[in-house]
Amino acid sequence: MKQEFFIRKANAGDLPGCAKIMVDAFKGRESWTKKRARARLEEKIREAPQLCFCLWLEGNIIGLMFCEQFDYVKGRYLWVAEFAIAPGEQGKGFGKQALGFIEKFAKENGFDVLYLAANIKEKAFKIYEKMGFKKTNWFFMEKEL
């Protein structure tokens, strides 16, 4: 039996589930707490609710894509700022479907570039490359204060 999978715009009621997925999906790699994850997602949904999406499977949130837009060298960019799939659903093609969805959304809404940040050591990095994303010469640097 085929499972019902769909993507829809996120709303405030989705934030607890999305925050939990962020904490679980990045456990051991990024130090998200539920409180910080929820605050981050609240900020994104407040700034641009039309760019925030949840992935659903059989009535449960299994992932999220919260995006930002900005203008830069190549035109209008859509940055997938927060992207996570629940650990138990990773490796099943939902991330690929989500990226296909957001690429179509970006094209239909006049964006010129789809942009995301990825950890080169993660399995998903190779998937992003297979889907046409290219490494740039720029990378994030940080300094804790």
CA 46 to chain CA mean position, Å? 16
Q: What per-residue confidence (pLDDT) applies to 2?
A: 65
Q: Is 101 exposed, middle or buried (0-12, 13-18, 19+ CB in 10 A)?
A: middle
| Superfamily per CATH, domain 5-130 | Gcn5-related N-acetyltransferase (GNAT) (3.40.630.30)
Residues 56, 17 contacting (CB under 8 angstroms): no
Q: Determine the average pLDDT of the residues in 22-40.
A: 88
Q: Which two tokens stand for residue 78?
A: 């859509």
Q: Determine the average pLDDT of the residues in 79-86.
A: 94
Q: What per-residue confidence (pLDDT) applies to 144?
A: 82
Residues 98, 7 contacting (CB under 8 angstroms): yes
Residues 26, 32 contacting (CB under 8 angstroms): yes
Q: Determine the average pLDDT of the residues in 42-62.
A: 96
Give the closest residue to 68 by CA, choosing from 131, 97, 111. 111
- DSSP-assigned letter for residue 117: -
Q: Is 106 helix (H, G, I), strand (E, B) or coil?
A: helix
Q: Over the stretch 56-82, which tens digit does the pLDDT of each residue have?
A: 999 999 999 999 999 999 999 999 999
Please state, as a whole number, how many other Cβ atoms lie within 10 Å of the Cβ of residue 37: 25
pLDDT for residue 114 is more than 80: yes
Question: Percentage of the chain surpassing pLDDT 70?
Answer: 96
Rounded to whole angstroms, how far apart are CA atoms 18 and 43? 13
Q: Over the stretch 3-12, which tens digit does the pLDDT of each residue have?
A: 799 999 999 9
Which amino acid is it at 73?
V
Higher pLDDT, 54 or 31: 54
Q: What per-residue confidence (pLDDT) applies to 1?
A: 55
Q: What mean pLDDT, rounded, does the chain reach?
A: 91
pLDDT for residue 22 is more than 90: yes
Q: What per-residue confidence (pLDDT) applies to 23?
A: 94
